[in-house]
Amino acid sequence: MASHIVGYPRMGPKRELKFALESFWDKKSSAEDLQKVATELRASIWKQMAGAGIKYIPSNTFSYYDQVLDTATMLGAVPPRYNYGGGEIGFDVYFSMARGNASVPAMEMTKWFDTNYHFIVPELGPEVKFSYASHKAVNEYKEAKELGVDTVPVLVGPVSFLLQSKPAKGVEKSFPLLSLLDKILPIYKEVIAELKAAGASWIQFDEPTLVLDLESHQLDAFTKAYAELESSLSGLNVLVETYFADVPAGAFKTLTTLKGVTAFGFDLVRGTKTIELIKGEYPSGKYLFAGVVDGRNIWANDLSASLSTLQSLEGIVGKDKLVVSTSCSLLHTAVDLVNEPKLDKEIKSWLAFAAQKVVEVDALAKALAGQKNEEIFSANAAALASRKSSPRVNNEAVQKAAAALKGSEHRRATTVSARLDAQQKKLNLPILPTTTIGSFPQTIELRRVRREYKANKISEDDYIKAIKEEISKVVKLQEELDIDVLVHGEPERNDMVEYFGEQLSGFAFTANGWVQSYGSRCVKPPIIYGDVSRPKPMTVFWSTAAQSFTKRPMKGMLTGPVTILNWSFVRNDQPRFETCYQIALAIKDEVEDLEKAGITVIQIDEAALREGLPLRKAEHAFYLDWAVHSFRITNTGVQDTTQIHTHMCYSNFNDIIHSIINMDADVITIENSRSDEKLLSVFREGVKYGAGIGPGVYDIHSPRIPSTEEIADRINKMLAVLDTNILWVNPDCGLKTRKYGEVKPALQNMVEAAKVIRTQL
């Protein structure tokens, strides 16, 4: 019985690649140094999988930046602005595309399906001259072979590549990207021929777009592409891999009738309906790569449940055609539990990171082949049983309270206009009130104080003193700048989710559980393992301290339930909405405690609301319903005079505008730096609804200081669409990544612009 891994994390168990990349970019080390680190990482991954007994080991899943960029490079699809002159593409052009250089900006980056991984979006058009410009796939195959590991080279499939691309600048938006198939397939053929010549016997094409809502002409492109590749592929075993959701019935039909393909890979963790399709009809003689080990999460597999799933599939496709696999690339999970010596033993027994998942896949394959390792299976069963019954997981009171929320209505009693009137009587704000989104610059000194307090190197008293001093400085600065609604600056927070997770029960934190977000950037999501509750107030101490330094309104600053959920590893033993409701109840208690403590404006950030949107349209309404409901639960209990703000980072709001309105916040601030027409429709809806709206007036991602005129110009453009009495003036997002030297003049110009326009109204 065979085993397979779809893909593996590249960063290394201790983010070795990140540090090597950043040192190379900073010119502190050479290209050879970087290549050496990369070669060692690849070798250790291949050897680890081979040692674990995996039969089909992937190659070319390593990347210096991103696998879609690697594919664009393979095809020579370099936008003209990077001055690519032909030949094998080197680091220079490659990293310029990824990150930009002194004279040219980077290519656009966007989220890879519904993961937190971001890929570089290829820019294509009729003018692009494709050429075979990177031999990386073949080189990696050979490199592994020299180490004695015969791998399955992995390529992003031609159709998914085109469907994830966008028309280049100057090319019409309606340009049919799929019309480029004829131009890229000849290059795929060259790659295939070289791989064959190097000795490859298998090849894997990742075609995850097959799980999306596709139109029939898009499905036809798959049929056409693989028919075209069929003769080149002859003699090879060809796996087309899908992941992240079930494959819709139509796509399943297309997929399983592709010419030249001998194996199909499915995500059977998220794709629960796919099993039914397989049971309904599966082409005889074709391999089934059954993704039963979750690549998107950190939980140990339920080995005995997976084994019975696999046994039922074996009855359909035959013993020699079933391959045990992961649900998707392990890129989206943490790397190795071995590096978590401080993690609680019991919790650790419930987890599996990438390295442990490889072992699970192998154990399942062996068990199917009649060589069940009883030790592994019984340890797994014991761990699952302990997780199920652990008092650390279960909190009956929380479960009851959360269960009662489903299907119930939570909405503030009065309309937003009535509330804003009541609030204005109390707050007495000028028109075009100014505010910021929450964080102020996080200086090295500040990070040191937090680190030393965590490590018990400074006393609690000293820590409180230092943070209070910082808050008072931030308050003073805002008063000098004459900002209307102040923030405390979030100096006590490392991260907007971690800060709350650390104070809520049901959360665990890792030391090295990093997951690649983009390029060298990694995130370390908290693990929600149990019922969530709030043992005591989390922000009241700092917010009241901040309020005591000023007579102006001080915003209480909270992270919303949906964002906490979407930026964590979430338990898989109950539906996501249940966990979200539990978090909502905890945040609700915090909101009410802030109100009691005299805080009159409370911002509940939902930066990641849109991120949780399911891949398929049919599932959107259900998600948005419980997500928005969770947000409302946090603040239905407050008085009319308490003003609830929410903030959202840049995303495509068009299709979720009604849900945003349905959140029923009093004021919504949103990122607007890439100011485009799309957001205008959001604003227009906002006018009808009556809530305050603060589309960011300047980009905080750039060190550039916007002038007063520029900001005034932006505000005037917004006023052309929005009523004066609902518009707020604020930056795009939090200021924590900026320096004071940038923040002070930028905010000064922002306040000045608001004042100038006020006099003109």
Binding-site residues from annotation: 18, 116, 437-439, 490, 521-522, 567, 605, 647, 649, 658, 671, 733
Q: Which residue is nearest to Zn ion (CB)?
A: 733
φ and ψ at 532, to 5 degrees? -95, 130
When asked if residue 733 is in the footprint of Zn ion (CB under 5 A), the reply is: yes
Q: What is the CB neighbour count within 10 angstroms for residue 739? A: 12
Tell me the longest C-alpha to C-alpha distance in the chain.
Answer: 82
Which residue's structure tokens are 């960011």?
696
Q: Is 508 helix (H, G, I), strand (E, B) or coil?
A: strand
Single out the residue of 453, 438, 454, 560 nearest to residue 497, CA to CA. Answer: 560
Among the listed residues 288, 334, 402, 733, the single contact to ligand GLN using CB under 6 A: 733
When asked if residue 734 is in the footprint of ligand GLN (CB under 6 A), the reply is: yes
- 701 an active-site residue? yes
Complex with ligand GLN: residue 335 or 594, whichever CB lies closer: 594
Shortest CB 490 distance to ligand GLN, Å: 6
Complex with ligand GLN: residue 221 or 649, whichever CB lies closer: 649
Shortest CB 455 distance to ligand GLN, Å: 24
Instruction: Pick what 644 binds: Zn ion, ligand GLN, none; C-beta below 5 to 8 Å, kind-dependent.
Output: none
Which residue's structure tokens are 């992941």?
243
Residue 48 · residue 356 · CB < 8 Å: no
Which residue's structure tokens are 């891999």?
241
Shortest CB 523 distance to ligand GLN, Å: 12
Shortest CB 491 distance to ligand GLN, Å: 11
Shortest CB 607 distance to ligand GLN, Å: 4
Residue 663 · residue 631 · CB < 8 Å: yes
When asked if residue 726 is in the footprint of ligand GLN (CB under 6 A), the reply is: no
Complex with ligand GLN: residue 142 or 488, whichever CB lies closer: 488
φ and ψ at 292, to 5 degrees? -100, -15
On the CB side of 464, how many CA atoms lie within 13 Å of its CA? 7
Residues 633-652 that bind ligand GLN (CB under 6 A): 647, 649
Instruction: Pick what 504 binds: Zn ion, ligand GLN, none; C-beta below 5 to 8 Å, kind-dependent.
Output: none
Residue 225 · residue 207 · CB < 8 Å: no
Give the per-residue contact string, 633-652, with Zn ion (x = CB under 5 A; - = no): ----------------x---
φ and ψ at 370, to 5 degrees? 85, 10
When asked if residue 496 is in the footprint of ligand GLN (CB under 6 A), the reply is: yes
Residue 586 · residue 593 · CB < 8 Å: no
Give the per-residue contact string, 418-457, with ligand GLN (x = CB under 6 A; - = no): -------------------xxx------------------
How many residues touch ligand GLN under the rule CB under 6 A: the total is 13
Residue 343 · residue 569 · CB < 8 Å: no
Among the listed residues 54, 334, 398, 557, the single contact to ligand GLN using CB under 6 A: 557
Q: Which amino acid is at 244?
A: F
Residue 304: enclosing H or E segment and its boundaries? helix 303-317
Structure tokens of 731?
A: 């930056």
Complex with ligand GLN: residue 412 or 736, whichever CB lies closer: 736
Q: Which residues are annotated as a binding site for 5-methyltetrahydropteroyltri-L-glutamate?
A: 18, 116, 521-522, 567
Complex with ligand GLN: residue 117 or 529, whichever CB lies closer: 117
Q: Is the torsion defined by CA of 386, 392, 396, 402 positive or negative?
A: negative
Residues 604-623 that bind Zn ion (CB under 5 A): 607
Residue 154 · residue 42 · CB < 8 Å: no
Which residue's structure tokens are 């809530």?
691
Instruction: Pick what 125 binds: Zn ion, ligand GLN, none; C-beta below 5 to 8 Å, kind-dependent.
Output: none
Instruction: Answer left, alpha or beta for residue 128, where phi above 0 means left and psi between -120 and 50 means alpha.
Output: beta
Instruction: Pick what 736 binds: ligand GLN, Zn ion, none; C-beta below 5 to 8 Å, kind-dependent.
Output: ligand GLN
Three-state DSSP string of 584-606? HHHHHHHHHHHHHCCCCEEEEEC
Complex with Zn ion: residue 368 or 700, whichever CB lies closer: 700
Instruction: Pick what 557 binds: Zn ion, ligand GLN, none; C-beta below 5 to 8 Å, kind-dependent.
Output: ligand GLN
Complex with ligand GLN: residue 343 or 604, whichever CB lies closer: 604
Binding-site ranges for ligand GLN (CB under 6 A): 437-439, 490, 496, 557, 605, 607, 647, 649, 733-734, 736
Catalogue the active-site residues.
Answer: 701
Binding-site ranges for Zn ion (CB under 5 A): 607, 649, 733
